[in-house]
């Protein structure tokens, strides 16, 4: 019994510490306390009290993120804004990330550049992609001469697959409620700009 109480006290002290300091204040920074068995009553009554507290706090959360009740999908808008606020992978950094270790020889974006240049060359000359890559390697103005032919063939195949996968994903998401909510939240959508760079 004593161990359970100490463990519960540890959880309370952790709950008081905000994971996102400064972001939430007042009711949104204060956990909901519902003592187990201390007030009497049924579990259903305790669940109802917790639900009511959460509804009140949700109203404050909508206000904090400036989401109106009359928005097309306020729940999805809130989910999108919370994801951007708290999920590192959804956040944008406008700075060059410093990496330790050996400098990479294949930079981001080179794969799609290779695919585009191979496609452009194939449109002007009748050749397969391997011949086009070999032709690109001969050009001293281009970065491709520093890579081996087998390396470029592999990179080309990987980049083409990644681009095809990205396009399929965009097509699937364009009409989804997630895309519409993201467009409503950020004033943009997946249609148009993001899928216009097709070969």
pLDDT beyond 80 at 101: no
Query: Using one digit for the tens of pLDDT, what is the confidence trace for 44-92?
Result: 888 888 888 888 888 888 889 888 888 888 888 888 888 888 888 888 8
Q: For residue 168, tell me if it sits in a domain.
A: yes
Q: For residue 71, tell me if it sits in a domain.
A: no
Residues 51 and 115 in one domain: no
pLDDT beyond 70 at 20: no
Q: For residue 158, tell me if it sits in a domain.
A: yes
Residues 121 and 182 in one domain: yes
pLDDT value at residue 2: 34
Residues 54 and 115 in one domain: no
Alpha-carbon distance values, 119 to 5, 57, 167, 187 (Å)? 68, 54, 17, 33
Percent of the chain with pLDDT strictly greater than 70: 71
- Domain extent, residue 23, equals 2-64
pTM of the predicted protein model: 0.44
Number of domains making up the chain: 2
Residues 120 and 183 in one domain: yes
Query: Using one digit for the tens of pLDDT, what is the confidence trace for 121-180?
Result: 999 999 999 999 999 999 888 889 989 999 999 999 999 998 888 888 877 777 676 666
Q: For residue 138, tell me if it sits in a domain.
A: yes
Q: For residue 82, tell me if it sits in a domain.
A: no
């Amino acid at each position: 019994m004593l161990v359970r109480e100490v463990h519960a006290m540890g959880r309370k002290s952790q709950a008081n510490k905000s994971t996102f300091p400064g972001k939430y204040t007042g009711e949104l920074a204060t956990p909901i306390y519902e003592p187990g068995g201390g007030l009497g009553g049924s579990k259903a009554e305790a669940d109802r009290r917790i639900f009511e507290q959460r509804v009140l706090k949700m109203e404050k959360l909508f206000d904090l993120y400036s989401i109106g009740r009359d928005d097309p999908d306020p729940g999805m808008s809130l989910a999108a804004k919370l994801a951007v606020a708290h999920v590192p992978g959804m956040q944008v950094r406008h700075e060059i990330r410093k990496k330790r270790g050996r400098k990479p020889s294949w930079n981001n974006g080179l794969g799609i550049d290779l695919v585009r240049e191979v496609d452009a060359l194939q449109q002007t000359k009748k050749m397969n992609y391997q011949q086009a890559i070999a032709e690109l390697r001969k050009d001293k103005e281009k970065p491709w001469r520093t890579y081996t032919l087998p390396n470029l063939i592999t990179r080309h195949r990987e980049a083409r697959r990644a681009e095809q996968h990205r396009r399929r994903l965009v097509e699937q998401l364009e009409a989804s409620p997630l895309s519409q909510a993201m467009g409503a939240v950020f004033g943009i959508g997946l249609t148009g700009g993001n899928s216009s760079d097709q070969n």
